[in-house]
Structure 1
């Protein structure tokens, strides 16, 4: 950068020398020109000092200051040259000849102030005080000057000063999107990443937090990726202190959320593996894919299955293997037994100390000493899991390859455990991560079959916890869990109906959003695309779904009416001979809806209404009765 700054300074130094010479040769307004010469000499001396220290100068303010200074020196030179000839002066100065020279002198004085400030800032020489106040160039935009100063401190300051500068940038980025843009434009990302990589404790946290806050839009994130953010963040997730790692995981989640194209770049830097490692620490052990293989490799999946079957046999609850969606009786026992069996398998080849060390470190690729991680306080460990889950949530969104990597690890089993006993933040982020993975699986048959196959203990464990949350019905996790079950609708067998009842119950929920999502989820069970749509439709009817849906069609909010009517149409289409539908007068409801202007013109709904009406007419009477009669005359 020193050579670039020297080139920038070359022209103003030459201009300053020319102004000095022209002012010295002036034949008019000698006193004013003498002042101009004096100030320009001082400016030239500062510029030469800056050129000698070019390697230390902060380029961004240097460019801005020099650009402004060149305009000033151009004007000063033109005026000094005119002062050399008397004949010309009468045409040049029509009002106050001395005022023009004094005005230029004032501008040169401002340039002196700007260069003096630049030298102090670039050297980090503040004498323990504020860096000389605002330079004249920043009079109209003091925040820009403040940003320059903080970035300069990041380049040259002590460890404590750099930490404070990063904290100041965090504050600015939090306050305004414009300030965040300025920090990026003025070259703040590079020194922030350097502080994340090489700093200590609080300074690293502040810098990582600033990186996350600055990544508010695709352009900003792309800039960070280009200057090496992926490798720096991956290094910290592998080797840094856990408090710093938690902030870094949050920053990764922000960058991925605001620029999904960077997901694969993060994956290429092994960040998925590292995040899963943090998630699994003191939760469950990870998949053998991420471990050092022992001389007697044992499938953890097989151990989980064996343990699960043993538990079921011990409890005498079911002689058949557990199917997807059926509740394991003791999730903790399954997991504990699995881990114990896996540890016993490895014990023949390794000492207890090595096993512990590998469990805590080698499995995840994290190079921290096991003791250091074990000694972290519970709050820090919980925060690390919360942020790791958040990062996996945003990295998995819409990305099949990353979802596959996550589901091939022990992440699903981790999510099941954390949904049950994690802190609020951990539970929420885990639920959102699984929701995004299942959303991808819904569209990706290969992922759905591999990750959510009926004999997968991890999937059973996740579904168990999700159904519990839906049954409870009053959690902030509810919407995500409803969507999750809907996404998996095509994986459930005809006999796996325990999630149908709780979803039907939510149709009677007071909150319109909950009823809407429950309708959408149940539609994925009852729609024609689901191979078991007839069985699922019958289960919905048996759970009392028709009555709730009719209520929503008639009296629900606008956001609920269409989803409820779509579900009702599918049920009527697939089970038109249902006596319960006949008693609920579903045919009359569909006829009424077909005539309702706001509903009938929905292009996706119209063919469903026609088909379901046609099917129902074969089995049910059109005569309106009872409760619905009033509505058909509206």
Structure 2
């Protein structure tokens, strides 16, 4: 096997046939993925320099993509990763669509494989062209789907990336895609929104900046989330929409009853996770941490009585804890209102 590695490295370094170079590069990446010892040996035998040269100077776009992919498998060296990203950025701008798709898929792989700190120095570059391609009329459905998946992966657990995404004015584009698309593209857009709203839930400055109640983008996002919750029969799409609404619970005014009634209707949903997420979202509306919790509690009580909620509490299923938590919150507000009334 070590002879195979030597042969592949030599082919990448000296071959004049691009197809042979690409095959050799893919073989090196495959070997590195299969065995950590092979990966270490490729690096020791100076397999990285010819890959970097092919990445930077390759006349074939597909050879550059193959080299970038192999380098991501073989190393997490920051200098090399920056070189990979520079090439990816160039390909996103100038390459044919099929190459752009491969480049974006590589971004997704890098985001999944490495710590998000890999992107700290260049994230303002890579996110903008991805958002641009996601919104371009000339982009194919496959390209848009890859862009949406990449945005979701970049946004996941990264407050910085979520902020960068919103600075590109992506929220309105995501809302429009949720409205008109279906399948994976719609799902990845919903998951991206879910990650961004999760950051908004814990960061008041971000929430007030990105999700202003009178902003067109906020209205568009909320309307589409509610549309998915109300009209979709696909739990895979409903669940991120419900979570997003729950994360935004603090932005809704006291007279917002449509959301409350919609979430209450989902408490009877046959899909256990949908019902559970609805309960968690309702808790965020009525939690004492929410400034308008008392007003939201009164809205809840218009649509559901305590006995009705008691009947929803099953015997030992996994939803029981969330329902008891919600019941306790509602009951405490009930006592508060009762005691307040008795004083007058």
Deviation at 1:232, TM superposition (A): 2.4
Q: 2:218 aligns with which of 446, 459, 477?
A: 459
Distance 1:405 1:180 in 2: 38
Contact kept, 8 Å, 1:208 with 1:247, in 2: the verdict is: no
Change (3 A) 1:403 1:226: closer
Select the structure that is richer in helix.
Answer: 2
The list of structure 1 runs, each at least 4 consecutive aligned residues, that deviate by more than 6 angstroms after superposition, is none
2:230 maps to 471
1:184-240: CA deviation from partner (whole Å, max 9, x where unpaired): 64555554455455352443444455456x28xxxx545675573232222222332
Q: 3-state DSSP class of the match of 2:269?
A: coil
Contact kept, 8 Å, 2:22 with 2:63, in 1: the verdict is: yes
- Structure with greater Cα Rg: 1
1:158-178: CA deviation from partner (whole Å, max 9, x where unpaired): 21112222343455566x364
> What is the TM-score of this pair, normalised by structure 2?
0.84
- Whether 2:93 is the aligned partner of 1:233: answer no
2:299 maps to 539
Contact kept, 8 Å, 1:195 with 1:207, in 2: the verdict is: yes
Q: 3-state DSSP class of the match of 1:146?
A: helix
**CA-based RMSD:** 3.2
1:47-90: CA deviation from partner (whole Å, max 9, x where unpaired): xxxxxxxxxxxxxxxxxxxxxxxxxxxxxxxxxxxxxxxxxxxx
- Whether 2:131 is the aligned partner of 1:276: answer yes
2:60 maps to 200
1:565 maps to 324
Change (3 A) 1:453 1:549: same
1:488-536: CA deviation from partner (whole Å, max 9, x where unpaired): 1101111222222232222222333222222212111110011111122
Change (3 A) 1:179 1:425: farther
Alignment of 1:155-554 (within 5 A): 155-157=13-15, 158-169=17-28, 171-172=30-31, 176=34, 178=36, 181-182=39-40, 185=43, 188=47, 191-192=50-51, 194-197=53-56, 198-210=58-70, 214=73, 220-222=75-77, 225=80, 228-258=83-113, 259-267=115-123, 270-282=125-137, 374=138, 381-475=140-234, 476-544=236-304, 546=306, 549-551=309-311, 553-554=313-314
1:14 maps to none
Change (3 A) 1:207 1:550: farther
Distance 2:76 2:14 in 1: 25
Change (3 A) 1:252 1:568: same
1:318 maps to none
Change (3 A) 1:439 1:431: same
Change (3 A) 1:548 1:189: farther
> What is the TM-score of this pair, normalised by structure 1?
0.48
- Whether 2:6 is the aligned partner of 1:151: answer no
